[in-house]
Amino acid sequence: MQIEVFLNEEKVQADIHPDMMLLDFLRSMNLKSMKRGCDTGNCGLCTVWVDGKPVLSCGVPAARVQGAHITTLEGVQKEAEEFSQFLAAEGADQCGFCSPGLIMNVLALKKENPHPTEEEMKEYLAGNLCRCTGYQGQYRALARYFELEEVQ
């Protein structure tokens, strides 16, 4: 089947299998920032935006995004770099596997709610898992980025 979407604001037409997932479609279009972690909607690694809202691309059929504007990390480089500086300053740089999904949700929260409370922030980002370190460094960076008091 044919679909037409806007990938990082570029109009694209593609022939896809009807049961292809958005994650596989995007990676087939040479966008590789989003990763496959759990493939069950539990880790956040595959997060992209559909019409400006974060979604887990492993759980969305590509056919469902017909006509939509899809944004991946490749499309928000400037904002991502700005946030990465906060992570680096706190020694909280993460691996290339989990960072893209976290950054897409952090930037989405910033757009939706530029000044979240600590609770709102933690709730919004609860679906982004890291399997190897803790979250304290990230929380320090997030506290500075969102101008919160120190986050526990």
Instruction: Give residues in contact with ligand FES (CB under 6 A).
Output: 36-39, 41-46, 56, 58, 94-95, 97-98, 130-133
Nearest approach in angstroms of CB 2 to ligand FES is 25
Nearer to ligand FES, 45 or 107 (CB): 45
Nearest approach in angstroms of CB 79 to ligand FES is 20
CB atoms within 10 A of CB 4: 11
Nearest approach in angstroms of CB 78 to ligand FES is 22
Q: How far apart are CA 78 and CA 21, in angstroms?
A: 27
Q: Which helix (H) or strand (E) holds 25?
A: helix 22-28
Nearest approach in angstroms of CB 130 to ligand FES is 3
- 34-41: long-range contacts at Cβ-Cβ below 8 A with a sequence spacing of 24 or more? 34/72, 34/73, 34/100, 34/101, 34/104, 35/97, 35/98, 35/100, 35/101, 37/97, 37/98, 37/101, 37/129
Q: Tokens representing 139? A: 């929380």
Nearest approach in angstroms of CB 143 to ligand FES is 19
Nearer to ligand FES, 19 or 147 (CB): 19
Nearer to ligand FES, 34 or 147 (CB): 34
Report the C-alpha dihedral over residues 104, 11, 31, 78, rounded to 10 degrees.
Answer: -40
Nearer to ligand FES, 42 or 85 (CB): 42
Nearer to ligand FES, 27 or 146 (CB): 27
Q: How far apart are CA 118 and CA 38, in angstroms?
A: 27
